[in-house]
Amino acid sequence: MAAPILYGLTNCDTCKKARKWLEREGVAHQFIDYKLNPVPADALKAWAKQVGWDKLINRSGTTWRGLMPSRKDPQTDAEYVLLVREYPSLVRRPVAVIDGEVMLGFTGGLYEKRFLASKASA
């Protein structure tokens, strides 16, 4: 297994928990703050192709709720990419990319299943 790349926001509590979990379990990883280093459009589209825009975009957060109603109905990949470029906080966090597979969010159980099982078989 290649080292996972964790995309998120430095000050996001869920991202902090995920990073601490990975460090505690000795899982080498790279962290990219996507406000400072925007995710390329092709990568966003690839993530959405795997998990769907409905799962990738956090519609329960304050950023979404603060959008004008006309911005809450993107129809194309290009419209979603533009929205994420303007409001990076809309992406559900963290996004972990492991060997091309996209994993959204963080729970200890989710990470144990993905990372510790891979570590044990290595």
Active site residues: 12
- Rounded to whole angstroms, the Cα distance separating 93 from 14 reads 7
* Ordered strands of the 95-98 beta sheet: 30-33, 5-8, 95-98, 101-104
- Rounded to whole angstroms, the Cα distance separating 110 from 7 reads 16
Tokens at 85, concatenated: 């470029």
Residue type, 111: Y
Tokens at 113, concatenated: 């299943």
Q: Report which secondary-structure segment, H or E, holds 98.
A: strand 95-98
Phi, psi of 97 (to 5 degrees): -120, 120
